[in-house]
Amino acid sequence: MPFVSYDRESMTSKSASNSSTETVPSRPRFAVEPGPGQESVWDYPRPPAIRRDGRLVEVRDGNAVVARSHGAYKVMETASPPTFYLPRADIDFDLLVPVRDTTYCEWKGKATYWALARNPAAPVGWCYERPRPRFEVIREYLAFYPGLVDCCLDGEQVKTQPGRFYGGWITSEVVGPFKGEPGTGHW
């Protein structure tokens, strides 16, 4: 899929939970300048934007295919690598089990978690069963943590976003620095 540029004006929006207007920030001086075919995570908006992404997304546990999809949504938020949410129809739920843990995202709402059936105590993905209205398009879609399962985007192996909490997908098309790296706790 070709590089997609983002029109800053169309990314200006109001948060569903906050009446203040949020916009795409100016890229800070310390941000890496994107090259051809790349995008800076510092050009992503806050609150996050969502775009359909038709590239092949694959998630594996060793040789087992956990998910394979051309119907993902890409969620992009300032300072974080994008996260890919996959439709349930493209996921092998024989390989997954629900986990009781939940967390809350200020933008998307309550997240539920999924683990590999072979290791039910270690979540490898999450889902918004009833997201806030702005994120309704990813209702019941699952996202996966690269590094806990093998994730590929159009054949490229995804690198793990630093930090124990984050699930962004680092590929050659995005430049940072990324939230979660040492010294970024104040972002």
Question: Does a structural domain hold residue 160?
Answer: yes
Residues 6+ apart with CB under 8 A from 187: 79, 179
Given pLDDT bands bounded at 50, 70 and 90, which one contains residue 183? Answer: confident
Indicate whether 70 belongs to any domain.
yes
Domain region containing 165 = 49-175
The answer to whether the CB of 54 falls within 8 A of the CB of 70 is yes
| Residue 132's CATH number | 2.170.150.40
Domain assignment of residue 55, yes or no: yes
Domain presence at residue 100: yes
- Tens of pLDDT, residue by residue over 121-144, are 999 999 999 999 999 999 999 999
- Strands (DSSP E) along the chain, which ranges? 13-14, 21-22, 39-40, 49-53, 57-61, 64-69, 72-76, 83-86, 96-105, 109-116, 123-127, 142-144, 150-153, 156-157, 159-160, 169-170, 174-175
Q: What is the mean pLDDT of the chain?
A: 88
Domain count, the chain: 1
**Has residue 118 been placed in a domain?**
yes
pTM of the full structure: 0.86
Tokens of 100: 């009781």
What percent of the chain lies above the pLDDT cut of 90?
79
53-100 pLDDT, tens digit per residue, is 999 999 999 999 999 999 999 999 999 999 999 999 999 999 999 999
Q: Domain for residue 80, yes or no?
A: yes
